[in-house]
Structure 1
């Protein structure tokens, strides 16, 4: 077996289960998954294309293509900031409305999942996911990636 333990194998299997789910597919959704992700970041405040690229850990060309699609659909707009060569990005009113709509779809699904999670608790899951993601990011940085 290539795994040092059955537990490691099972954790890898569960993480793969998370990744292969169509978690970004919702009946009645307005936004594509990439537009939702971009609007999630922009909800917190305007960003440059480069900042989005770093935060999303994607190539700038990929983020540029996704942002241009969101702009074309009227969800995001570019605006100039005095003294800055880079234009900033922010949600439009239509983008805010679509984000709230689709965010509510996601929240409804999570509520149903948490209702069925017994005996688990959402706050414990959140705590452990954060701890895992923080530790994973430290490990990747230590590898120099």
Structure 2
């Protein structure tokens, strides 16, 4: 672990330590799961589609916050593996994407493996609870998204 001193760029040591922990989380290969069938990108796409609502390629790129060409490449790979299918909707120019039965089964399989790992992590975390972490992470992510969304607005920067 690095060292954050009082003369650093951070307003206080806790901000530097938070940044360090966020970087640590980003380096972790949380999407690499032993026994998983899906690549991380296919799991992420199937996660978005798990609400049962088909999406266009553009919808997926917006929800995943990825470039459309990247999502297109990932979708094509998932289609080749039999996890997704494209279909036409009458009166719509863009085709929609939905999981195949094989995709749903693989997603559920990998989801169970991931859930088991989370259960083991929380069993090792004492004190701590998934509910408390969820509450704080959700609040942090919401505030982060609001902050990033407002960065382009000069009036908000002066406030």
How far apart in 2 are the matches of 1:130 and 1:55?
16
Which residue of structure 1 aligns with residue 98 of structure 2?
Answer: 90
CA offset at residue 61 of structure 1? Answer: 0.3
In the superposition, the TM-score normalised over structure 1's length comes to: 0.98
Structure 2: gaps (5+ residues): 1-7, 154-159
| Bigger radius of gyration | 2
Which residue of structure 2 aligns with residue 7 of structure 1?
Answer: 14
Which residue of structure 1 aligns with residue 73 of structure 2?
Answer: 65
What secondary structure, in the 3-state scheme, does the structure 2 residue paired with 1:23 have?
coil
What secondary structure, in the 3-state scheme, does the structure 2 residue paired with 1:47 have?
coil
CA RMSD of aligned residues (A): 1.0
How far apart in 2 are the matches of 1:43 and 1:79?
17
Runs ≥4 residues deviating over 2 A: none
Matches within 5 A, 1:119-138: 119-138=127-146
In the superposition, the TM-score normalised over structure 2's length comes to: 0.89
Structure 1: gaps (5+ residues): none
The number of residues matched between the two structures is 145
